[in-house]
Amino acid sequence: MAWDFSTEPEFQAKLDWVEQFCKEEVEPLEYVFPYAVRSPDPKVKAYVRGLQQQVKDQGLWALFLDEELGGPGFGQLKLGLINEILGRYPSAPQMFGAAAPDTGNMEMLAAYGTEEQKARWLQPLLDQEIFSAYSMTEPQGGSDPNLFRTFATRDGDEWVINGEKWFTSAGRVADILFVMCTNGMFVVPRNTPGVEIQPEPRNHNHIIYNEVRVPLDHLLGPGDGAKVLAQRRLGGGRIHHAMRTIAQCNLAFDMMCERALSRESHGKIIAEHQMVQEKIADSYAQIRMLRLFVLETAWKIDNTSTAEARTDIAAVKYTMAKVLRDVSFNALHILGSLGTTDLTPIQAMYAAAPTMGIADGVDEVHKATVARRVLKEYRPHEGYWPTEYFPAKREAAWKKMQPKLDADPELAASAENYKKYFAKRG
């Protein structure tokens, strides 16, 4: 039996490089040139490309893709460990060519796209010459595909898409949209006539597809295959989100511990107050438990499949939102009034926690999935009493032991004495 929590020295060296690179290069760039990866300024773009070349030289570019899809093929466990670092720095995923929503869209293209589609869209996405968005959820149906209405009708050599999508993150700034219809997944250039992006919300866009026409070759994968493509896209992505969430929790935890040792209240350092100690202890335990759960799930995916690990993936998804909420709330309180402002990352983390409980499927749906799948492994007991009903187990034990007692009178006498003793105790 193999049971090991260590990391291979060669890969640990990669993790150390990633951490140093993010601290020394990515974080400073973030404060001087926000959103540098998307900057139209040629000088900024050239500087970013130089940094990204260092990432490529390390073999860490587009690290989410499996080897057969053209990536490094790290597997989910190693990806999780890398994302645990990247998640601490908002622009790091884009600097490594591994930012959502592009990652999942590129994975769908790599797995299901034709060679022509890969040349047209996948390579430009990998090179960050274009950016994408994922248009899945709908106002009336949320994230339940069974309630979706957006539909593509074939008209000669074109598809005509009609429907309404809600919460298409980064849709306004995307070059292409991956639109999930009831009869397939379609790639739609954002500037196509009929793509109507509503004024609000600004970041997670409400889009109406009104007689949107695209060529036949804009269907990605098989017709009626949208659900299969969506599951391929979302499964591993939830593990990446979870590890990046852990990175945010670790950042909040570091901030609360530093603050607890730096401020005084009622005549002593606030770290000496028991309620502060309770918040620190609870946060520490929650983060460690979530991290082990996520890494075990990633390991399970690597050794089986996303489908086999579906129960754990769903459980990880709703657990990470709760831990982020709890830890960021504790950190906010320990920072005090400063924690309620936008002068530190804490307020944004706490505000993001509810979104984490909705993105990629609401927590309630994932909890129901976990419950249904777990209950399939159980069967109802017969009769009135559950399996662990003591009188029934005691009777069964006596029956099982009786041949041994019959063969050994002294052991039988001891058993009778035990029975009398416990009978007296009631």
* pLDDT surpasses 80 at 233: no
pLDDT (0 to 100) of residue 112: 94
* pLDDT surpasses 90 at 379: yes
Q: How many domains does the chain have?
A: 4
Q: Among the listed ranges 148-152, 195-199, 238-242, which one has the minimum average pLDDT value? A: 238-242
The 10s digit of each residue's pLDDT in 166-184 is: 999 999 999 999 999 999 9
pLDDT (mean) for 302-308: 89
Looking at the structure, tell me whether residues 104 and 193 fall in a common domain.
no
pLDDT (mean) for 136-158: 93
Assigned domain for 164 exists: yes
Decide which of 81 and 359 is more confident.
Answer: 81
Assigned domain for 45 exists: yes
Looking at the structure, tell me whether residues 347 and 311 fall in a common domain.
yes
Distances (CA, A) of 285 to 7, 238, 291, 370: 22, 22, 10, 23
The 10s digit of each residue's pLDDT in 83-95 is: 999 999 999 999 9
pLDDT (mean) for 237-259: 93
Looking at the structure, tell me whether residues 157 and 204 fall in a common domain.
yes
What pTM did the predictor assign? 0.88
pLDDT (mean) for 315-323: 95
Assigned domain for 321 exists: yes
Looking at the structure, tell me whether residues 335 and 420 fall in a common domain.
no
pLDDT (0 to 100) of residue 1: 64
Assigned domain for 1 exists: no
Say whether 102 sits in a helix, a strand or coil.
Answer: helix
As to burial, measured by CB atoms within 10 angstroms (0-12 exposed, 13-18 middle, 19+ buried), residue 191 is exposed
Last residue of a domain, one of 164, 198, 220: 220
- Supply the mean pLDDT for the chain: 93
Assigned domain for 95 exists: yes
Q: What is the CATH number of the domain that holds 84?
A: 1.10.540.10
Q: What is the CATH number of the domain that holds 138?
A: 2.40.110.10
List, as one string, the DSSP characters of 336-399: GGGGGSSSSSHHHHHHHHHHHTTTTS-HHHHHHHHHHHHHTT--PPSSSS-TT-HHHHHHHHHH
* pLDDT surpasses 70 at 235: no
Q: Where are the beta strands (DSSP E) in 80-157?
A: 132-135, 151-155
pLDDT (0 to 100) of residue 68: 77
Looking at the structure, tell me whether residues 246 and 276 fall in a common domain.
yes
151 phi and psi angles, rounded to 5 deg? -140, 145
Assigned domain for 119 exists: no
Looking at the structure, tell me whether residues 84 and 182 fall in a common domain.
no
* Residue range(s) defining the domain that contains residue 341: 227-375
* pLDDT surpasses 90 at 316: yes
Assigned domain for 335 exists: yes
pLDDT (0 to 100) of residue 296: 95
Q: Among the listed ranges 15-19, 34-38, 55-59, 303-307, which one has the minimum average pLDDT value? A: 303-307
Assigned domain for 281 exists: yes
Distances (CA, A) of 186 to 27, 176, 181, 218, 223: 36, 10, 7, 6, 10
